[in-house]
Amino acid sequence: MAKKETKPTSSDSHRVATSGDIEVSTYLEIAKEMGGEQPVAAREAISGVEPETIIVLDFGSQYSMLIARRVRECQVYCEILPHDAPREKIASLNPKGFILSGGPASVYESGAPLAPSYIYESHLPVLGICYGMQAITKQLGGRVTPGTKHEYGHAVLHLDESDSPLFTNVDPSSPVWMSHSDKIEEMPPGFTALAHTENSPIALMGNKAGIFGLQFHPEVAHTPQGKTFLENFVYRICGCQGNWTMSNFINESIDRIKGQVGKGKVITALSGGVDSAVVATLIHRAVGDQLTCIFVNHGMLRREEVERTFNTFRLNLGMNIIFVDAGERFIRRLKRIIDPEKKRKIIGGEFIRVFEEKAKKIGKVDFLAQGTLYPDVIESASSGSKASAKIKTHHNVGGLPAKMKLNLLEPLRSLFKDEVRQVGLELGIPEEMVWRQPFPGPGLAIRIIGEVTKEKLEILRNADWIVMNEIKKAKLYRQLWQSFAILTDVKSVGVMGDYRTYSYLVAVRAVNSEDAMTADWSRLPYDLLNRISNRIVNEVEGVNRVVYDITSKPPSTIEWE
Residue 217 annotated among the catalytic residues of the structure: yes
304 Rama class: left (phi>0) / alpha (psi -120 to 50) / beta = left
* Cα angle, residue 159 at apex, residues 154 and 163 outer, rounded to 5°: 145
Alpha-helix residue ranges (DSSP H) falling in 374-525: 374-380, 395-398, 417-426, 431-434, 454-473
Beta-carbon contacts of 146 under 8 Å, excluding residues fewer than 6 positions away, are 106, 108, 181, 182, 183
- How many Cα atoms occupy the beta-carbon half-sphere of 549 within 13 Å? 27
Beta-carbon contacts of 370 under 8 Å, excluding residues fewer than 6 positions away, are 24, 25, 26, 268, 269, 279, 396, 408, 409, 410
Phi, psi of 497 (to 5 degrees): 70, -130
Name the active-site residue from 180, 217, 298, 395.
Answer: 217
* Best CA proximity match to 559, nearest among 504, 515, 519: 519
Q: What is the DSSP letter of 316?
A: H
DSSP codes, 155-188:
EEEEES----GGGTT--SEEEEEEEEEEEEEEPP
CB atoms within 10 A of CB 189: 9
Name the active-site residue from 130, 238, 240, 293.
Answer: 130
* Best CA proximity match to 43, nearest among 231, 235, 244: 244
CA distance 557 to 340: 13
Beta strand extents in 286-389 (DSSP E only):
291-297, 320-325, 367-369
* Best CA proximity match to 244, nearest among 233, 255, 252, 236: 252
Q: Longest Cα pair distance anywhere in the chain, in angstroms? A: 84
CA distance 512 to 504: 27
Residue 451 · residue 288 · CB < 8 Å: no
Cis bond upstream, residue 555 (ω within 30): yes
Residue 130 annotated among the catalytic residues of the structure: yes
Whole-angstrom distance between the N-terminal and C-terminal Cα of the chain?
A: 51
Name the active-site residue from 219, 419, 470, 561.
Answer: 219
Beta strand extents in 143-288 (DSSP E only):
143-159, 173-186, 192-196, 204-206, 211-214, 266-270
- What amino acid positions are annotated as catalytic residues? 130, 217, 219
